[in-house]
Chain A
Amino acid sequence: MVWIDTIVQGILLGGLYALFATGLSLIFGVMRLVNLAHGDFSILAAFIAVFAVQSLGLNPLVALLLVAPVMATVGYGLQRLVLNRLLGRGILPAVLVTFGLSIVIQNGLLETFSADSRRLNPGGIETASVSLGGGLAVGAFPLLTFAVAVLLLVGLQILIGRSAIGRAFRAASDDGATAALMGIDNGRLYGLAMALSLAIVAVAGIFLGIRTTFTFSSGPDRLLFAFEAVIIGGLGSLWGTLAGGVILGVAQTIGARLSPGWGVLTGHLVFLAVLLLRPSGLFAKSRRVD
């Protein structure tokens, strides 16, 4: 019984990881960019929410509606002003610049908010539990997180599959040069992709901040989990990313149940195992070879 409970918790945790992973996967698909500051942006969003809650007295879930557009704007600006200039110069500049950004953001948060750990309080929902029948109860908030993750994924799927922008994302991810010949302004498109990525990761960051405590240095672990979820699931498939997140979440919760210090480590080991045995991921749909 304990094990079913553990697995369900892991699945729900996977929803949160999928939220982190989706933004990363989107920008890699569209412009072959890995944003090493991805996790730090989610923590930045969480801290902005802390600020909004403290100064405006908002509920964090309401603050989310303000923070997400702010982060989207930051993403658009970052891409157009900084990152667009690095594309086409090989991977080194993009890796190093986003790494540098990661360090700058972390230290900026440290200076601004000190090293204290924080938590966002949505007023009760995070302690509520929901009964799923058969004696099984899950936290209401993890369930909500999973539901939001699935909703966002569905929304993204619809955007990518049915809209003009979505077609443009897919075309640019297939062949950026030809996409430009179709009239697609790649600079703007990449900006939109990054805006979307940071908006989603802002949601992830705030949900994380409600679920658990966080500090200025919590970002890099988020990046790592997001990356692992993407690799386990395989590139090119949004639902694969959800599956990857779920597998990672379950691995971590099972590991933690076996021995408290082993949660995260078990996740890493599962990730490495997938890497060894199925490097392209478990559900890859990608048409490109990585």
Chain B
Amino acid sequence: MTLLTVRGLSAFYGDFQALFDISLDVTEGETVAVIGANGAGKTTFLRALAGALPVPRGAVQFAGRQVGGRPAHALVDLGIVLVPEGRKIFPSLSVRENLQIGAYRRRAGPWTLDRVYRTFPVLGERREQPGTNLSGGEQQMLAIGRGLMANPRLLLMDEISLGLAPVVVQHLYEVLGTVNTEGTTLLVVEQDVSQVLAVAHRVYCFRKGTVALEGVAGHLTREQIFAAYFGA
């Protein structure tokens, strides 16, 4: 079934328009990738979906309901969870507490502290340390773990590969692959195009705030992607 339907989504930062009439669909159980150059509007798009930006009511439908304009905390209740760009780990909270705060809304589901520790053992080892004491890769695991603790139906991820070694990124995507297989729908914004195309079912390419290309991951050619990415 279609989990997420976006129609005619425009977004503004003050007078500056960042998104122009975006339309996009995500089926439950899919992994959808959103790629594009810097400034294309990908992060703005995820933030709009997560409730961090004002959005018209009908522009976003989730599981059959119109959710545009609802505040971020209400969207977490519905199962829309964002792993934000830059991780945004809370410095005043330990690793364990960062994970616990992910479960603030106490949504039912399989994810618990123990399960996160099993998935990312390094988090278990460092559980009482301040969240920001971890390395970049470990913080990304923490951010993802925190997102998972909310037992999301739709997990939005913003540039999780930024600044990380390829081997770490690969491990993260393996975990995400399992998460997806177990039923969580993923919407992934990525700079690392090849990595994300390997795991995604479908791809959208953004350019200058619009959708420049959409299609099934395996069916798009390099040339098509290149053209959509940079504009030819």
Contacts and interface: CB of A to CB of B under 8 A. Distances in A.
A185 B93 CA distance: 18
Contacts of B50: 181
A89 interface: no
B90 A174 contact: yes
B101 interface: yes
A180 B52 CA distance: 8
Contacts of B93: 167, 170-171, 174
B73 A171 contact: no
B80 to A, nearest CB: 10
A184 interface: yes
Nearest to A177: B52
B90 A181 contact: no
Nearest to A170: B92
A168 B73 contact: no
B76 A183 contact: yes
A175 interface: yes
B48 to A, nearest CB: 12
Interface string A185-215: 1100000000000000000000000000000
Interface of A: 164, 167-168, 170-171, 173-175, 177-186, 287
Interface in B86-100: 88, 90-93, 97, 100
A21 B102 CA distance: 31
B132 to A, nearest CB: 9
Given A164-B104, A167-B97, A177-B52, A183 B73 contact: yes
B145 to A, nearest CB: 13
A169 to B, nearest CB: 9
Contacts of A184: 73, 101, 104
Nearest to A285: B92
A180 B100 contact: no
Contacts of B101: 164, 167-168, 171, 179, 182, 184
A171 B100 CA distance: 11
A213 to B, nearest CB: 41
B138 interface: no
Contacts of B104: 164, 167-168, 182-184
Contacts of B51: 180-181
B146 A182 contact: yes
Interface in B41-85: 50-52, 71-73, 76-77, 81-82, 84
A287 B50 CA distance: 27
A287 B105 contact: no
Contacts of A179: 90, 101
What 10 A-B pairs are tightest by C-beta distance, nearest first? A183-B76, A183-B105, A178-B88, A180-B72, A170-B92, A185-B73, A174-B90, A183-B104, A183-B73, A171-B90
10 contacts: A164-B101, A164-B104, A173-B92, A180-B72, A181-B51, A181-B82, A181-B88, A182-B102, A183-B105, A184-B101
A217 to B, nearest CB: 38
Contact of B76 (A171, A173, A182): A182
A179 B105 CA distance: 12
A177 to B, nearest CB: 7
B71 A181 contact: no
Interface in B172-204: none
Contacts of A181: 50-52, 72, 76, 81-82, 84, 88
Contact of B90 (A170, A185, A186): A170
Contacts of B71: 180, 185
